A and B are shown apart, each in its own frame.
Chain A
């Protein structure tokens, strides 16, 4: 597994950006959310996925919805399994998707997904950001997983990501991925 120091080094090298939850909010017991540089750019810049035909107010709401999920994550607050954060191999016991996660913003507006891997407990590395509507078939999900896997390997030279305990189907299993472990 990677270490916190390695993650910070990736940031210093410009390969990752550590996402910050607002400028002035307190953060206690925080976790680390890192995004590949281009993912961070797409997340922070307009337009968001599928926003072209959307009511601008709706777009603002769903941007706020996703940011609030991420804010709860980095501040060490409540994260709901399968609503806020989902391990994508668990439902179908799919070993090919094992250890691959998504942050989710809920409807009714167009939902978004922030995909990535858990390098160590309490940290998340986002490797892509997409609209949920992009994925219609199992092949779409498999292609997305493969692309994200390549990006992870490119960043870390193939370092392992967390994939145990598995399946992640309860609060205690989720806590193993959320509760921060220090180097």
Chain B
């Protein structure tokens, strides 16, 4: 039986909003489509691969392959598996826990920006001490901590990780 204390981190997180649930439901199809489509685009650009070439390999029509690769809405788990195999690529799934204590990085702020923000803060303090007008520092990189998981799809081709 699971120790309820082990799940305490979930209890401390707010329930997903409706939009977060929508995004989560769509994310798997979207990531599969983007990764597989990107590999197809690469082969098409570099080696003139066509929808028909892939279709022949997986016994599907050219139009079916085109439809799958045209929009995330058309992607299914089975079509993703077929397309990955048809492109001679291994599909690896990585479920990455968001470690407790990991800073929340909803939108990564580059270290250079964080450093500039700190400089601006110090400058504002200096100016205030000297009687100049106070300036507002940019949004700081520091953020609260979280503890859930993120998922992504890693694409491998026969040449190794893409």
Contacts and interface: CB of A to CB of B under 8 A. Distances in A.
Interface of A: 4-5, 8-9, 11-12, 18-30, 32-33, 60-61, 63-65, 67-69, 71-72, 74-75, 77-81, 83-84, 106-109, 170-171, 180, 182-183
Chain A contact residues: helix, strand, loop or mixed: loop
B64 interface: no
B105 interface: yes
Contacts of A77: 31, 34, 152
Contacts of A74: 107-108
Given A33-B107, A74-B108, A78-B38, 6 more contacts: A25-B150, A27-B106, A61-B73, A65-B30, A65-B72, A67-B23
A182 B112 contact: yes
A29 B108 contact: yes
A24 B151 CA distance: 12
Nearest to A29: B108
A4 B152 contact: no
Nearest to A76: B108
Interface in B66-82: 70-73
Contacts of B108: 27-30, 74-75
A183 B112 contact: yes
A70 B45 CA distance: 24
Contacts of B23: 22, 64, 67-68, 71
